[in-house]
Amino acid sequence: MEAAHSTPAWVLLAYLVSGVCFILALRGLSSPESSRRGNRLGIIGMTIAVVTTLWTHLPGAFAKKTGQICNQMYTATGAGEPVCRDLTYPPAFVIDWQTFGLILGSIVIGAVIGLVTARRIQMTAMPQLVAAFHSLVGMAAVLVGAAAFLNPDAFGILGSDGILQVSRVEMGLGVAIGAITFSGSVIAFLKLNGNMSGKPILLPARHVINLGTLVAILGLIAYFTQDQAPWVFFTVMALSFAIGFLLIVPIGGADMPVVISMLNSYSGWAAAAMGFTLHNSAMIITGALVGSSGAILSYIMCRAMNRSFISVIAGGFGGDSAAAGGGEVIDRPYKRGSAEDAAFLMSQADQVIIVPGYGMAVSQAQHALREMADLLKEHGVRVKYAIHPVAGRMPGHMNVLLAEANVPYDEVFELEDINSEFAQTDVAFVIGANDVTNPAAKTDKSSPIYGMPVLDVEKARTVLFVKRSMGGVGYAGVDNELFYRDNTMMLLADAKKMVEEIVKNIG
């Protein structure tokens, strides 16, 4: 593999263009209105990076061809010996088609899997898919690091005394972060997919264990710069797999959106570290962008949930309080309403604020919801949508669903922009949003969501709460006291069916 200083100028320029595309893609993804353009720019940037890398690292070698050219010299008798001289042809690049075929075959297989998965996946399962993709990025970093350790000469990182010192640091950090990303993402996937309990699993002395494991990993990476013995490298790998598991297991379901964001950041830093090992500037740029943007998003979400950013990295944040919450359903009287009641109240209102949540995503009610909003606007009702930063299972989950239903962007508001309007709102229509509307976050110190900013829906004159039944609790495992307020009317049914019934009664 070519060293960084011998990389052709056009390759560096191509990687620079792909990096600019990635930056513009992130800029576009910051707003629903420009997200499609951002997505396209990201695809263009990645295509440029992949094609450039393949072109500059075609498996093969330059070979010199030699041969002879002969002329028959005739004597007067018609017989003679041929006169020959050696001839060397210009060197030609000979492609190793077998290896190249394996590379192309792998690309095709991966592309087909990605395409089929993207077309078939439901929006409700998108968080699990993101977690699964993060795990693949982490494992890729681990495998690249292992390959570089076992065959450093092929990666251009072999010096006179073994693997270059700086490459040992890059390799150690890349493998460690990649392994943490992989095992942590697997646990996040299992929790989100329901294969594992969403409740925190609290290990005794977990913080001491986590800190000790982290110190051991960093110490071994430092030692690896002096001794490249295989046991050092593979111990770093094993401990990193273990701490990824230990960091995510104690985290409860209510905090899972922050976990997804943080794992996204980890995957970026792992890719950046491997970019240094591979002398690939596109990987370094892309990894740094993903890592830094993921970390910034995690910080913003921590503020939205009143969590400490440091406690996210340490693992188990919110775990003790989640255990205290207990997930107990309160048996108290509540007011039940019907689609007819809801249609009458909303059609007579001046303003309705719709609060979507995971229940809307599960029932795929976003299209019916937009139809309901259109009918209300025909009756002269102002309609707005209130989005909590962690509604659903991942950042932006609700925004994507509403955009899919062609809800106007100017009707969608974030928590800090709309919370003050609930007190002047006639009806708050909550459809499947549980934890993010729970007033206990402001008053109950034993609640796992205590301190998390929530939407002030209880301040509306009437709250219509769509929920499948009273038997379940939110993802945080606690009941919502909003259900039992005097101004709350429970609409117990499948979200999509309930909204469709409301539409019939409004029309």
The DSSP secondary-structure symbol of 254 reads G
Q: Which residue has the higher pLDDT, 183 or 85?
A: 183
Instruction: Let me know whether 359 and 498 are in one domain.
Output: yes
Q: Which residue has the higher pLDDT, 322 or 410?
A: 410
| Dist. CA 46–CA 123, nearest whole Å | 24
In a domain, 76, yes or no: no
pLDDT-wise least confident of 76-80, 149-153, 206-210, 258-262: 76-80
Domain boundary among 325, 355, 388: 325
Q: Is 203 exposed, middle or buried (0-12, 13-18, 19+ CB in 10 A)?
A: middle
How does pLDDT run across 342-382, given as a tens digit for each residue? 999 999 999 999 999 888 888 889 999 999 999 999 999 99
> Are the C-beta atoms of residues 448 and 252 closer than 8 Å to each other?
yes
Question: 417 catalytic, yes or no?
Answer: no
Q: Which of 153, 161, 410, 435 is catalytic?
A: 435
In a domain, 63, yes or no: no
Give the chain's domain count. 3
- Split at pLDDT 50, 70, 90, the class of 147 is very high
In a domain, 476, yes or no: yes
Dihedral angle sign, alpha carbons of residues 482, 486, 489, 490: positive
Q: Which residue has the higher pLDDT, 494 or 68?
A: 494
Q: Residue 324 has what pLDDT?
A: 39
Query: Position of tokens 């309007």?
Result: 421
Domain boundary among 325, 352, 372: 325
- Split at pLDDT 50, 70, 90, the class of 5 is very low
Residue 439 belongs to a domain with what CATH number? 3.40.50.1220
Cα–Cα distances in angstroms (integers) from residue 203 to residues 237, 251, 446, in the given order? 22, 11, 20
How does pLDDT run across 41-56, given as a tens digit for each residue? 999 999 999 888 888 8
Instruction: Let me know whether 377 and 307 are in one domain.
Output: no
Instruction: Let me know whether 293 and 344 are in one domain.
Output: no
Q: Residue 330 has what pLDDT?
A: 55
How does pLDDT run across 433-482, given as a tens digit for each residue? 888 898 888 887 777 777 778 899 999 999 999 988 877 666 656 778 88
> Are the C-beta atoms of residues 249 and 209 closer than 8 Å to each other?
no
Instruction: Let me know whether 321 and 346 are in one domain.
Output: no
pLDDT-wise least confident of 285-299, 317-331, 349-363: 317-331
28-42, 129-143, 388-402, range with greatest mean pLDDT: 129-143
How does pLDDT run across 388-443, given as a tens digit for each residue? 887 777 777 788 888 888 888 889 998 889 999 999 999 999 998 888 898 888 88
- Terminal CA-to-CA distance of the chain, rounded, Å? 68
In a domain, 170, yes or no: yes
In a domain, 92, yes or no: no
| Dist. CA 9–CA 38, nearest whole Å | 27
| Dist. CA 358–CA 370, nearest whole Å | 16
Instruction: Let me know whether 300 and 367 are in one domain.
Output: no
Helices and strands in the chain, H and E counts = 18, 12
Q: What percent of the chain has pLDDT over 90?
A: 32
Instruction: Let me know whether 281 and 363 are in one domain.
Output: no
Instruction: Let me know whether 310 and 172 are in one domain.
Output: yes
* Token pair of 288 as six digits: 């740094």
Instruction: Let me know whether 410 and 453 are in one domain.
Output: yes
Residue 74 has pLDDT above 70, yes or no: no
> Are the C-beta atoms of residues 252 and 476 closer than 8 Å to each other?
yes
Report DSSP letters for 382-401, one per residue: EEEEEE-TT-SSSTTHHHHH
**Angular region, 186: left φ>0, alpha ψ -120 to 50, beta rest:** alpha
In a domain, 331, yes or no: no
Q: Residue 76 has what pLDDT?
A: 47
Mean of pLDDT values over 195-215:
80
Q: Which residue has the higher pLDDT, 398 or 501?
A: 501
> Are the C-beta atoms of residues 383 and 349 closer than 8 Å to each other?
no
User: CA-based diameter of the chain, in Å?
Assistant: 125
Q: Which residue has the higher pLDDT, 241 or 66?
A: 241
Least Cα distance to 434 among 403, 462, 376, 393 occurs for 393
Residue 71 has pLDDT above 60, yes or no: no
> Are the C-beta atoms of residues 285 and 15 closer than 8 Å to each other?
yes
Question: 73 Cβ partners below 8 Å, 6+ apart?
Answer: 80, 81, 82, 83
* Token pair of 109 as six digits: 């297989």
Residue 276 has pLDDT above 80, yes or no: yes
Q: Print the domain residue range for 433.
A: 339-506
How does pLDDT run across 92-130, given as a tens digit for each residue? 556 677 777 888 888 899 889 988 888 888 776 777 888
Instruction: Let me know whether 318 and 348 are in one domain.
Output: no
**Angular region, 364: left φ>0, alpha ψ -120 to 50, beta rest:** left
In a domain, 118, yes or no: no
Instruction: Let me know whether 320 and 375 are in one domain.
Output: no
Note if the pTM is more than 0.85: no
In a domain, 347, yes or no: yes
> Are the C-beta atoms of residues 290 and 137 closer than 8 Å to each other?
no
Instruction: Let me know whether 439 and 469 are in one domain.
Output: yes
Angle at 240 between CA 237 and CA 243, to 5 degrees: 155
| Dist. CA 244–CA 179, nearest whole Å | 7
Domain boundary among 270, 295, 325: 325
Q: What is the mean pLDDT of the chain?
A: 82
Instruction: Let me know whether 243 and 382 are in one domain.
Output: no
The residue ranges of DSSP E strands in 89-141, in sequence order, are 92-95
Q: Residue 65 has what pLDDT?
A: 52
